Amino acid sequence: MSNVILHGKSFKPFIPNAKIESVIDSVAARLNEDYKNAQQPPMLLCVLNGAIMFTAGLLKRLNFPLEVVSMKLSSYTGTQSTGNVLEVMGLTGDVTGRDVIVCEDIVDTGNTVMALREMLIAKGARSAKICTMLLKPDVFKSRTNLDYVGIEIPNDFIVGYGLDFDELGRNLPDIYVLDK
């Protein structure tokens, strides 16, 4: 793995694909155990665009019946969070009475996923569990715990494996960190 340049900024290798795949194996095993006897198939909610690769990785490993829905939220401009959550594309399915597993690429402050959890419950979801590939515990502000966490990382700006820098870098199989 060598550095990559996106929009004139250099990113250095941070988490290799083999580690990411191992983490997804672990998260999928926990989900498989928790949902193996579900009365009704849960809904797996992919938060676009960042969680596409993580969600796809989970889908290949999950062995219980489920439905997949998506929605798109935004709270970043460049390398900084704006602090405001914008719903770019609404929910693609009805969550009424359903257990929803929210698949996120990364959680930092937690504001976005907690707002999303509240929105899903307000729309009638029976439950809304948060499943994230990455967590930045140093900036996580929520009093509510996340349900499934892959890897805890420092509060650095990263790209790759679905995460972007102004829409570039999502297709990288590894994760890279901004090289300061």
Instruction: Say if CB 21 and CB 58 are below 8 A apart.
Output: no
179 catalytic, yes or no?
no
Tokens matching residue 93: 């399915």
The backbone region for 166, taken as left when phi is positive above 0, alpha when psi lies in -120 to 50, beta otherwise, is left
Dihedral angle sign, alpha carbons of residues 126, 99, 49, 165: positive
DSSP code string of 20-35: HHHHHHHHHHHHHHHH
Tokens matching residue 25: 């194996």
State the amino acid at position 65 in one-letter form. P
Catalytic residue among 25, 99, 105, 108: 108
Q: Look up tokens 């809904």; give the residue.
A: 43
What torsion, rounded to 10 degrees, do the Cα atoms 175, 117, 139, 176 define?
Answer: 10
Q: Which residues are catalytic?
A: 108
